[in-house]
Structure 1
């Protein structure tokens, strides 16, 4: 057993519909809102500016964030944050917007040191998926590769979970982000740094997802289910921020960056094979990870009279959920040509081996084993 383990949460969380009103209570003179063009066009940025105006804050807007934010976006954002010196930084959007804000925020700290006055950092997710509003992780694209930054300086001070903000999310986004949450919670549960505290959050998030994800995929206006999935996303974020993730995310980062695919969909297509690998399904199916997966099966009321049965039950439950959600069976179904995929596997496996998520995976993989997983999920 490890000694001196810790659990801490530096982010205050306010949740349930209407919680955006908390912005009207912030203190300061100048705010920088970091978001994207779509949220600006549909009026969310205007709403945020309205609440900040009630608080007496003058707002500046940076909405050049695109999916898979890269180093150029960080450089552009850095110029603005240096110019206006905000008291408050508000990041609103999906994982890309919040990750970009973190990267800009952290870059300013790295470049300016003590000369950079840390603004109060508020994160408002508009998808139920990344958990970025409570983590010290940021994924940035550099020269085509996804780089995972990890530093507690990037953790937001306040997370606002207003599920009304996800009410206009397209069905595909709901599914992809929901499966990302399931992957976060599952990986955190078997990660080497998991604790009783992270387990509790991961277990609750998984239960909420199995009970509610299909409901909101079918009807995003189901407010109760939408609240549950939005909260589950945050719970899973707290869990993996403390416990870590694993090779499911390492593999997803590499393939998503190389083939320009949605992160949540990559995680979904990899999930069963990664679980089978970690649980040694082709061998004894009785290692620590297998027992953890079997425990999740028990929690969901699935057959788990033996460890192997529980492991298989959990894999089958994920397969069933994916089928109900209409998720493809492999990357070939996404239109990726076999030659293109095969040519990229070696580089993707190397990138996954170097990913920040790999060291806490319950089994230390060899590159050849990651290549084998990639081939199985094609």
Structure 2
């Protein structure tokens, strides 16, 4: 018998104004991690007001950078060792969450102390990091990205307050929304997919297809924002259990060298990855093609064969991207094609050993990855 597991992750508190619920948590000393924008734009003030009202001492670390680095984590660990909080509150996008997870991990292991409560408050709807056991830390000196994967990294509480997402610019809304879409599709076709992860992937996809363009075009639409915020976490539950695939592996390698937003790279890669995984070049429909067709059908996307459904799914994805003025090629990503081509062998080598590759539904070689990269040109 095939024994499987499914973990939901943190306690979820969601809806506009849900940040106030911090006041119900047992916190006496809070270390707040965010990026400079979250601090300067006063987005963090609601969190600090709650802490002040409950009489909790707090300190803010606001030096998180996109693709958080080993250096930033080290700076924060030095601070947290001295401060000794009973709670760490991460406010921001995936970078703030990843930094907080790494800081807690290094701090608790090196100091041999009990893990502080981790509260994750995402301000964008994309990474799903608020409820996953994943964190990605960068080393700019070697252009490496390291994926940490451990159950201890899952936050204890995730607060999905729509108020934080209402002012997210359209381009970031598109990038993060396409990351949600990628999470759902990769989890659905993953080698570790189950009925439970499928349910989350399907719901996340349905919400994304319905609300992503509206959230992009009309950022003040609270319902669209709330649905995309929920979709992001639901997708996080799906991929935290089922794993991801080579869309993320190839994206991590591109991001390490060319520093383009992760969700945007995923979007450009996604149709190419779906075509590869579904073996569209094969004579017959494969089991993976049928899986993609299955999930396409839940979105009312149909074809007379599985491969036709896969092509229709790819068409629907590219139409979403066009409606949000997203790039579809390496050049449109702002990357010099010649520079990209030069880095293909090294990127392919790294993608082949990425933590997301083993759960990809189709086995892949370094040569396969190189070919997919060249297809982007």
* Normalised TM-score (structure 1): 0.97
Q: Output the CA distance in 1 between the equivalents of 2:287 and 2:147.
A: 27
Counterpart secondary structure, 1:333: coil
* 330-339 vs 179-188, which moves further: 330-339
Matching residue of 1:196: 195
Counterpart secondary structure, 2:347: helix
* Contact 1:26/1:55 (8 A) holds in 2: no
Q: Output the CA distance in 2 between the equivalents of 1:3 and 1:52.
A: 46
Counterpart secondary structure, 1:284: coil
Cα distance per residue 1:259-316 (max 9 Å; x no partner): 1111000000000000000000111352221111101221111223321121111111
Q: Output the CA distance in 2 between the equivalents of 1:161 and 1:232.
A: 11
Cα distance per residue 1:43-62 (max 9 Å; x no partner): 12222111112222111110
Trace 1:362-373 onto structure 2 (pairs within 5 A): 362-373=361-372
Trace 1:124-139 onto structure 2 (pairs within 5 A): 124-139=121-136
Matching residue of 1:217: 216
Report how many residues are paired: 375
Q: Output the CA distance in 1 between the equivalents of 2:93 and 2:284.
A: 37
Matching residue of 1:49: 48
Matching residue of 1:229: 228
2:252 is aligned with 1:253: yes
CA RMSD of aligned residues (A): 1.0
Structure 2 alignment gaps of length 5 or more: none
Q: Output the CA distance in 1 between the equivalents of 2:209 and 2:284.
A: 24
Matching residue of 2:107: 108
- 1:28 deviation in Å? 2.7
Matching residue of 1:281: 280
2:57 is aligned with 1:21: no
Q: Output the CA distance in 2 between the equivalents of 1:211 and 1:290.
A: 23
- 1:362 deviation in Å? 0.4
Cα distance per residue 1:29-75 (max 9 Å; x no partner): 21000001101011122221111122221111100001010100110
2:105 is aligned with 1:123: no
Cα distance per residue 1:78-110 (max 9 Å; x no partner): 111111110111000000011000111111123
* Contact 1:297/1:304 (8 A) holds in 2: no
Q: Output the CA distance in 2 between the equivalents of 1:310 and 1:86.
A: 52
* Contact 1:26/1:52 (8 A) holds in 2: no
Matching residue of 1:290: 289
* 329-338 vs 228-237, which moves further: 329-338
* Contact 2:7/2:237 (8 A) holds in 1: no
Q: Output the CA distance in 1 between the equivalents of 2:110 and 2:290.
A: 46
* Normalised TM-score (structure 2): 0.98
User: In structure 2, do the counterparts of structure 1 residues 280 and 83 end up closer, same or farther at CA, with 3 Å as the change threshold?
Assistant: same
Q: Output the CA distance in 2 between the equivalents of 1:292 and 1:339.
A: 36
- 1:8 deviation in Å? 1.6
- 1:335 deviation in Å? 2.9
Runs of 4+ in 1 over 4 A off after TM superposition: none
* Contact 2:19/2:46 (8 A) holds in 1: no
Structure 1 alignment gaps of length 5 or more: none
